[in-house]
């Protein structure tokens, strides 16, 4: 029985690829890569879903693997560039294929498969990209794309008869109707709606990430997670304030807050946001963060607001009375893409 390592997001396309191979008797070991930026089963913004129920039903195995720092490096400096935002799609795919190649050798598989569809994604699923990525990963001829195989040149698994090419598909383009029809034919009903991809394709998140890397080229995982929460304000080159927008974000900020490293601010005597102050903050930075906290609390209509400040370490909290930040101050400090900025502008600055 031939064996394949399959790149599996848990989305519809990769699940269909696994089913197509299983229906031909190929043993499938699916690997789902985790990246901190979505497009994996850990992320609600992802284009994926928990792959284990489908794996149990259709008879394939799933392995989880984290790309960790290897992925961070290609986000910062991708050989083949970013897409419209911070997405290094080609380099990302090459990295995943390289990891799959290592796993292929470890488990005695003969080839690698993916759920990619020719022409579906504008950066990495073009006809000329597939052979480039396969070659860069050291897998030339050994990557089978079952959903688009009939529209592509035959691969080694097809030429050697490990799979029957005539039983594969020739899907091309962005329409999901062929995949949905195939899913219906296979009895696959529980699959996620198509999504835009990982967080790195989102303009707002990408702008925050770019701004963080400009001030700190080696951010921690905590700083990367913090980019997804609240309003962000750059107070100085090494100091940033993150302001919660609702109860859920306050709870998430509380989880990410490090008592030994961060200031934590909240309004005294009224409802309002948590504010986490990151970096080696000066007295002026603390005052600015307190004004931001006052601006978004329920007492913001007052001329002065009492703010409770918990400094880092074992020091006692103290109270500050500050005026809420003005609209002009917010505009000057907020980390956000300028209005009217063309999508993807300035990406090469990194």
Domain assignment present for residue 350? The answer is no
Q: pLDDT value at position 189?
A: 86
Mean pLDDT of the chain: 90
- Say what the pTM is: 0.83
Mean pLDDT of all residues in 184-197: 80
Do residues 164 and 55 both lie within one domain?
Answer: yes
Q: pLDDT value at position 341?
A: 43
Per DSSP, which regions of 258-315 are E strands? 263-267, 275-278, 305-310
Helix, coil or strand: residue 97: helix
Residues spanned by the domain of 29: 3-197
Helix, coil or strand: residue 222: helix
Q: Is the pLDDT of residue 255 over 50?
A: yes
What pLDDT digit, counting tens, does each position of 272-316 carry? 999 999 999 999 999 999 999 999 999 999 989 999 999 999 789
List CB contacts of 315: < 8 A, sequence separation 6 or more. Answer: none
d(CA 87, CA 229): 20
List CB contacts of 160: < 8 A, sequence separation 6 or more. Answer: none
d(CA 82, CA 88): 5
Domain assignment present for residue 83? The answer is yes
**88: its two tokens:** 């290094």
Do residues 239 and 154 both lie within one domain?
Answer: no
**Number of domains present in the structure of the chain:** 2
Do residues 246 and 323 both lie within one domain?
Answer: yes
What pLDDT digit, counting tens, does each position of 3-41 carry? 999 999 878 999 999 999 999 999 999 999 988 776 555
Last residue of a domain, one of 166, 197, 228: 197
Phi/psi for 12 (5° steps) reads -65, -45
What is the distance, to the nearest Å, from the Cα of residue 333 to the centroid of all Cα atoms in its chain? 26
Do residues 163 and 55 both lie within one domain?
Answer: yes
Do residues 49 and 183 both lie within one domain?
Answer: yes
Do residues 160 and 207 both lie within one domain?
Answer: no
CA atoms within 13 A on the CB side of 163: 34
Q: Which residues pair with 5 in a beta bridge?
A: 29, 112
Domain assignment present for residue 145? The answer is yes
What pLDDT digit, counting tens, does each position of 96-126 carry? 999 999 999 999 999 999 999 999 888 889 9
Q: How far is CA 341 from CA 72, 202, 207, 338, in A?
A: 26, 14, 11, 6
């Amino acid at each position: 029985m031939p064996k394949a390592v399959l790149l599996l997001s848990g989305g519809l396309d990769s699940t269909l690829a696994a089913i197509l191979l299983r229906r031909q008797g190929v043993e499938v070991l699916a690997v789902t890569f985790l990246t901190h930026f979505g497009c994996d089963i850990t992320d609600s913004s992802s284009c994926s879903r928990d792959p284990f129920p489908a794996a149990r039903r259709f008879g394939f195995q799933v392995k989880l693997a984290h790309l960790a720092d290897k992925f961070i490096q290609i986000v910062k400096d991708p050989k083949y560039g970013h897409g419209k935002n911070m997405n290094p799609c080609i380099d990302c795919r090459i990295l995943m294929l390289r990891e799959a190649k290592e796993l292929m050798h470890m488990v005695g598989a003969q080839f690698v498969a993916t759920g990619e569809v020719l022409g579906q994604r504008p950066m990495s699923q073009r006809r000329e990209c597939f052979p480039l990525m396969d070659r860069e990963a050291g897998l030339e001829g050994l990557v089978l794309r079952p959903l688009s195989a009939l529209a592509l040149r035959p691969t080694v698994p097809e030429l050697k008869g490990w799979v029957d090419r005539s039983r594969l598909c020739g899907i091309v383009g962005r329409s999901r109707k062929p995949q949905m029809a195939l899913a219906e034919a296979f009895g696959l009903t529980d699959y996620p709606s198509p999504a835009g991809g990982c967080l790195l394709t989102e303009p707002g998140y990408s702008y925050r990430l770019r701004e963080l890397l400009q001030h700190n080229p080696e951010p921690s995982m905590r700083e990367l997670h913090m980019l997804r929460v609240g309003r962000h304000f750059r107070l100085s080159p090494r100091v940033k304030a993150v302001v919660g927008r609702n109860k859920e974000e306050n709870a998430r900020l509380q989880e990410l807050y490090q008592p030994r490293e961060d200031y934590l601010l909240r309004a005294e005597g009224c409802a309002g946001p948590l504010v986490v102050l990151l970096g080696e903050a000066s007295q002026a930075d603390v005052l600015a963060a307190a004004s931001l906290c006052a601006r978004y609390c329920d007492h913001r209509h007052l001329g002065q607001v009492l703010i409770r400040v918990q400094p880092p370490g074992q020091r006692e909290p103290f109270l500050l009375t500050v005026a809420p930040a003005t609209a002009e101050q917010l505009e000057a400090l907020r980390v956000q893409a300028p209005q009217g900025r063309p999508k993807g502008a300035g990406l090469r600055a990194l």
